[in-house]
Amino acid sequence: MRFRGLDLNLLATFAALMEERSVSRAATRLNLSQPAVSAALARLRSYFGDELLVLEGRRMFPTALAETLLEPVVAVLRSIDGIVDSSATFDPASARRTFRIAASDYVMMVLIRPLAEQLGGEAPGLRLSLELPSERAALRLDEGKIDLMVIPEEFASQRHPLDLAFEDSHVVVGARDHPALAGPISREDFCALEHVAVMVGTDVPAAFADRQLEQLGVSRRVGVTVPSFAAVPWMLAGTERIGLMHARLARLMAASLPITTSPIPFNFPLMREVLQYHRARGGDPGLAWLRGQLLAVARREVG
C-alpha cells in the first residue's frame, strides 16, 4: 500500500534498521533476505533524499533526519497494531499468544504467580514472558515491545493509561529471634540497626521504600544491597540486620523462612501498584482480557 508515493511496508523496515543498526540483523528480524532489506533501505533513501543510516565499520549510524523520523514512525506502527488487534476476537481457550510483562519479583510472586497457575486450565495456549522493570522496559513499552508494566503508581508514565491493581503496606522484617523485634520496633532501633536494601538493576530509580524514606527525612544504615525483594529475608536469618518489605510478600516468605515482622515505627504511605499499557492498545481484546484477569487475581489474592 502506498501513501503519497511511499510504500508503507518500508516503515517497518526502517524501524527494524533503526533498532538493529544492521541490514543482516534487520533481515533476520523481519524474516526477509538481506538483498530485500538493502533494496528497501535504498528506496527509503531515495524517497526522503537522505542517507538515513550510514555504515561505519560494522555498524550503521542514523543521520539527524533518521533520528527525527523514528518516533513518529514507531507511533504509526503502534497505531496500526492497535487497529489490527481491536478488529480481532480473543478466545483465551484457543488463543496462541505470548504476553510480555515487566514486573518486579515481588509482583511476580504475589500477583503473576497465581495467574500463571490458572492459565494452564483456562488458556493453555497462552505464554507469559516476564522481565524486570527498568528504564529500558519503559522504552520497550513505548515501542510496543512489551504489553504491560506492573509498577508503583509514582513510576508510571503520563503518556499511557493505567489501572490500579492493588495497594500494599510495608513492614519491618528481621530474624525470628531478633531482640529488637520481640515487640514493635522503636524508631531509634530502626535507624541504628544495619539494613538490607533493594536495588534492582543499575538503570532504575530507587525502590519505593527508599524514596519514601528520603521524602520523610529518615536515614537508615544500609549494610547489604540485594538485586531483588525476595532476596531480603535470606540476608536476615542469623543476623541482627533488618529490612523493609511489602507486607504481602513478607507474609508469604515468613511461611517458609525464619523471619518475623514489625510495624514501621512512623507513618509510612501505602504503595499503589498499577497496570500500565500503551495508549494504542486500549482496544486490544487480548490485553483487555489479561488486565481483567490480573485485576481479578489482585482482588482475590492481594485484597
Where are the CATH 3.40.190.10 domain residues in the chain?
Answer: 97-165+272-302, 170-269
Number of continuous H segments (helices) and E segments (strands) in the chain: 11, 14
The closest of 115, 130, 92 to 298, measured between CA atoms, is 115
| pLDDT tens profile 86-122 | 556 788 998 888 999 999 999 999 999 999 998 888 8
Which pLDDT score, from 0 to 100, does residue 71 have? 85
For domain 97-165+272-302, which architecture applies? Answer: 3-Layer(aba) Sandwich (3.40)
Q: Where in the chain is the domain with CATH 1.10.10.10?
A: 2-87
- Cell numbers given for 31: 524474516
What b-and-e string marks burial along 3-40, b requiring 16 or more CB atoms within 10 Å of the CB? eeeeeeebbbbbbbbbebebbebbbebbebeeeebeeb
**Helix (H), strand (E) at residue 78:** helix 64-87
- To the question of domain 170-269 being in CATH 3.40.50.2300, the answer is no
Rounded Cα distance between 32 and 209, Å, is 47
pLDDT tens per residue, range 206-235: 788 988 999 999 989 999 999 899 999 999
C-beta of residue 181 within 8 angstroms of C-beta of residue 174: yes
CATH topology classification for 2-87: Arc Repressor Mutant, subunit A (1.10.10)
> In what helix (H) or strand (E) does residue 5 lie, and over which residues does it extend?
none
pLDDT for the residue numbered 88? 60
What letter does residue 144 receive in the DSSP assignment? T
Low-confidence residues of the chain, pLDDT below 70?
A: 1-5, 81-88, 201-205, 302-303
